[in-house]
Chains A and B, each alone.
Chain A
Amino acid sequence: MLPTLLHEKPKAADRVMQHASGDKRFKILEAHMKKHQFKHDALIEVLHKAQELFGFLDDDLLLFVAYKLKLPASRVYGVATFYHFFTLKPQGKHTCVVCLGTACYVKGSARVLEAVEARAKIKAGETTPDNQLSLLTARCIGACGIAPAVVYDGTVTPRQTPETALEHLKGWISNGN
């Protein structure tokens, strides 16, 4: 997608700018860039803010950031795809992050993940077709003392089992009666 956009760069930039002018969130993002004086090394900070505002980073958004920071689009795209934290796909309404850190793993977090995958009928990293739930995994959230931990919509929940996890997700999965 992006290479073709790059090909017709002036047009794409114009289109993105026009698209951006109607959305307040782009203004907030620009103010954030200004706070960092449009410095190139603030790219990761800016992408964090962009993801916070929009939920995910789509091509237009990345082009907007590239244009405003005066960076090549390839560099912005490269950084956005390098780091696991940034997502280029829209997320579901709810998120469920299963920690697969070593401590959680030896205490059975893989079984929790399997159970959720089976119930929601999606794999880790995917979103349910009805956009209700995104199932993600984490490499370690540093909550090893209370392993296995699962993060439901940003809330770290200790000592999960397949049963407690499914119980928690009941309302979020349409077929999870």
Chain B
Amino acid sequence: MVIDDLNAIAEKEQAARKKTVIRCCMAAGCMSSNSETVKKNLEQAVKDAGLADEVEVRGVGCMKLCCEGPLVSVDTQDALYEKVTPEDALELVKTLKGGKTKVKRGDFNHPFFKKQLSIVLTNSGEIDPERIEAYIAADGYQALHHVLRELTPKEVVEAMVKSGLRGRGGAGFPTGLKWGTVAKTQSAQKYVICNADEGDPGAFMDRSVLESDPHSVLEGMAVAAYAVGANQGFIYCRAEYPLAIKRLQNAIKQAKTLGLLGSGIFESPFNFNIDIRIGAGAFVCGEETALMASVEGKRGTPRPRPPFPAESGLWGCPTLINNVETFANVPPILRKGAEWFAGIGTEKSKGTKVFALAGKITNTGLIEVPMGTPLRQIVEEMGGGAPDGGKIKAVQTGGPSGGCIPAEALDTPVDYDSLTKLGSIMGSGGMIVMDETTRMVDVARYFMEFCVDESCGKCVPCRAGTAQMLHLLEKILNRQGTARDLAKLEELCDMVKNTSLCGLGQTAPNPTLSTLRYFRKEYEELLQPDPFGPGRNGEAKKSQLATK
């Protein structure tokens, strides 16, 4: 494979483009609403209408507005059809010849679409994720070629540093710095791992990227491997995402066939292979050291850092671990330049961030906005506020490691530092909206229960501490708690936060702490008077017991 071959594939693909393209969403959300049959019926209807030469029915990745699925768009009409049933297919094809349809029409000019800025999701909902030719026609693998033929590994790392990209997995560690550390470590064998173990309940960005544009992740990983000097990559994907795994396997096979993965890529001495490792349902495996243990086929328990994976990771070799979205950002950065990327976002958080908008909100789905976009714009303008005239009470970001941001703080810009200041975190990008009917103590209990279940059991503060905190939260919820229980809960939060071994334990108290910070009243309303009095006063104790 040389660049001419790549360009030839792209040209052939563009030449084969038909006049009209009907796009049908084939991501997991819409597929569960039967979009596969919709696509089949559309194809049949096009054939029956004799339009097969002019009209292409294309299965594409996520079209973002998941709540209205299955989604179908017709590019010549600039139309988006929502909640399309298999029976509607015939009617939709008739509209191509000027027919009318009663199918609900969406609006591409709605802020939900208008205010988005796509970098990672550029191809999502546009190209067929199951065909590598489609990705190549959208400038795919150009960045890899540019890097392999024109840049030294050092220059690639410098470009990443200059772009200001920070890890999209949640912690926000500067990507260039991480790559530089792995590149500097001397070793004959190095690895690149893509963390696709998106365990946060309420987050589905990584799944959508893998389902909609798997090749961008593969290309990003190959570029990273070249920059750090690795020849083997792993993608660690959750078993709960069968479609993403299938599309990844397919993508890897296609890339290997074309020589875009394997040995001597673009006739350079660079070799790179990618294997998929399937998780088995353990949230803690999203933590990098636990993830590596799991890739090695062991129980996914974390270990203390340092040594960091960049120095000693998989089988003791230097290992680069990045999130799906981080890798997907790499090809556009190298194609369009680090300066272009650094020009988007805020001073300390560059680029865009993909969020999965869900919960009590009118428009649920996938959005990509520049860093620094106010939460209010995301939730109220793009998301359309709470459904049925409800009032938004809080927005939860960062899953079980994050916190609840109250409605009063909705004007905060979304970037790593502002969210941390509010006691939440950016997290991987799950954004769950809660309205007035949601009880915040119950939310805290929900997340604590999650952490109890998912604690690996290796360190005591997390294993025992989370169980005790859950017990206290349940006691308070059952109206049996007192002010002492609340004080003890806060004490435990502090202890678990400061003494746990890994990220899971260190962040487990966050949902409780943030709800305590902003919704303390809800806790206090549930408290019972202390039968032993407010202090250790023996008299108060006696008199109160006597009145009982």
Which residues does A use to contact B, with CB under 8 Å?
A: 39-45, 47-48, 75, 78-79, 82-86, 100-103, 105-107, 138-147, 149, 155-158
Contacts and interface: CB of A to CB of B under 8 A. Distances in A.
Nearest to B285: A83
A158 B432 CA distance: 17
B488 interface: no
B297 interface: yes
Interface of B: 28-29, 31-33, 66-67, 69, 198-204, 207, 239-241, 277-283, 294-300, 356, 358-360, 364-366, 396, 399, 430, 432, 434, 438, 443, 446-447, 450, 453-454, 456
Given A44-B280, A103-B201, A142 B241 contact: yes
Given A103-B432, A140-B199, A147-B358, A48 B299 contact: no
From B356, B359, B453, B454, name the one whose CB has the most chain A CB atoms within 10 angstroms.
B359
A106 B365 contact: no
Contact of A144 (B239, B295, B364, B450): B364
Nearest to B283: A139
Contacts of A83: 279-282, 300
A84 B28 contact: no
Nearest to A86: B280
From A39, A78, A103, name the one whose CB has the most chain B CB atoms within 10 angstroms.
A103
Contacts of B443: 106
B432 A102 contact: yes
B299 A146 contact: no
A45 B432 contact: no
B300 A82 contact: yes
Contact of A85 (B281, B356, B359): B281
A103 B356 CA distance: 10
Nearest first, the 10 A-B pairs at minimum CB distance are A145-B66, A83-B280, A101-B201, A103-B358, A156-B32, A140-B201, A84-B281, A144-B358, A102-B202, A43-B297
Contacts of B295: 41
A140 B280 contact: no
Contacts, number: 140
A41 B231 CA distance: 18
A131 to B, nearest CB: 23
Given A102-B396, A102-B446, A140-B203, A145 B364 contact: yes
B364 A140 contact: no
A89 to B, nearest CB: 16
A145 B358 contact: yes
B280 A142 contact: no
Nearest to B457: A82
Nearest to B447: A102
Contacts of A84: 280-282
Contacts of B399: 102
Given A84-B281, A102-B432, A140 B32 contact: no
A174 B239 CA distance: 31
Contacts of B33: 146, 158
Nearest to B284: A82
A162 B295 CA distance: 39
A52 to B, nearest CB: 11
Given A48-B239, A78-B299, A144 B32 contact: no
A39 B67 CA distance: 44
Contacts of B396: 102
Given A86-B280, A102-B446, A139-B281, A144 B204 contact: yes
B28 A100 contact: no
Nearest to B296: A41
